[in-house]
């Protein structure tokens, strides 16, 4: 059964005007040791606040001795901790694996499915002008631009398409089409 082992004065005052009287409480655990905590009794008869365990002592006399050494600074800090407990650390959720194997390797050759085929033919668009081709290419994704390179065999050997920026890919396509069409 819990018991009050010390009552402290003067009362603790918060900046919002609330006033609390602190008292040290304790109880004997099943292993015979005593654990102690602090309770903060408000002067307006609202809910009594309590701290988490502040100490564990070998016996009641040691708990009372611990309480006799508490300062007003310690009590104020304990009240502050009680009013604003530390945040609870939450680990990342466990999400089971979705797949039973890694994704297949992407081939470096030309696209093989209709979903991978280019969305435009750069040679037919170039017939409307170089600016039109540049404008239409600028609306495409990196993946779509890469498909145009591969299907129309526009990439010179040794060029790493993945290292090029989207504007560089567009410039390469326009330049390669211009060279093939030029007399």
- Give 78-89 pLDDT, tens digit per residue: 999 999 877 777
Residue the block writes with tokens 């093939």: 180
Residue 11 burial (10 A CB sphere; 0-12, 13-18, 19+): middle
Nearest to 4 by CA among 29, 35, 25: 25
Taking residues 10-31, report their average pLDDT.
93
Peptide bond into 10 cis (omega under 30): yes
Cα 161 to Cα 169: distance, rounded to the nearest angstrom: 7
End-to-end CA distance of the chain: 101
Determine what percent of the chain is predicted with pLDDT higher than 70: 91
Q: How far apart are CA 130 and CA 174, in angstroms?
A: 7
Token duo for residue 118: 């280019």
**What is the rounded distance in angstroms from the CA atom of residue 122 to the CA atom of residue 149?**
10
Give 34-48 pLDDT, tens digit per residue: 999 999 999 998 999
pLDDT at 117: 60
pLDDT band, residue 110 (cuts 50/70/90):
very low
At residue 113, the pLDDT reads 53
Structure tokens at 63: 């708990």
- Residue 155 confidence (pLDDT) above 80: no
**DSSP bridge partners of 7:** 23
* 127 DSSP assignment: T
- pLDDT-derived band at 105 (thresholds 50, 70, 90) equals low
The pLDDT of 102-131, averaged and rounded, is: 70
Q: Could you identify the residue written with the tokens 């239409």? A: 136
* Residue 72 pLDDT class (50, 70, 90 cuts): very high
Cα separation, 175 vs 134, whole angstroms: 10
- HEC string of 144-179 equals HHHHHHHHCCCCCCCCCHHHCCHHHHHHHHHHHHHH
The Cα–Cα gap between 143 and 23 comes to: 69
Q: To the nearest whole number, what is the mean pLDDT of the chain? A: 86
More confident residue, 165 or 63: 63
pLDDT at 125 > cutoff 90: no
């Amino acid at each position: 059964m819990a018991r009050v082992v010390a009552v402290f004065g003067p009362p603790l005052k918060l900046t919002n005007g609330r006033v609390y009287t602190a008292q040290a409480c304790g109880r004997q655990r099943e292993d015979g040791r005593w654990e102690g905590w602090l309770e903060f009794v408000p002067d307006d008869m609202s809910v009594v606040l309590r701290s988490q365990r502040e100490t564990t002592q070998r016996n009641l006399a040691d708990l009372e001795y611990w309480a006799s050494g508490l300062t007003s600074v310690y009590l104020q800090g304990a009240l502050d901790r009680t009013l604003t407990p530390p945040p609870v650390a939450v680990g990342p959720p466990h999400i089971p694996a979705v797949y039973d194997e890694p994704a297949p390797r992407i081939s470096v050759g030309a696209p093989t499915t209709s979903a991978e085929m280019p969305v435009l033919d750069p040679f037919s668009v170039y017939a409307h002008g170089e600016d039109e081709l540049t404008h239409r290419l600028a609306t495409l994704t990196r993946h779509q631009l890469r498909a145009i390179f591969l299907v129309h065999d526009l990439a010179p050997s040794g060029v790493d398409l993945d290292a090029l920026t989207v504007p560089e890919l567009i410039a390469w396509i326009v330049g390669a089409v211009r060279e093939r069409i030029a007399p």
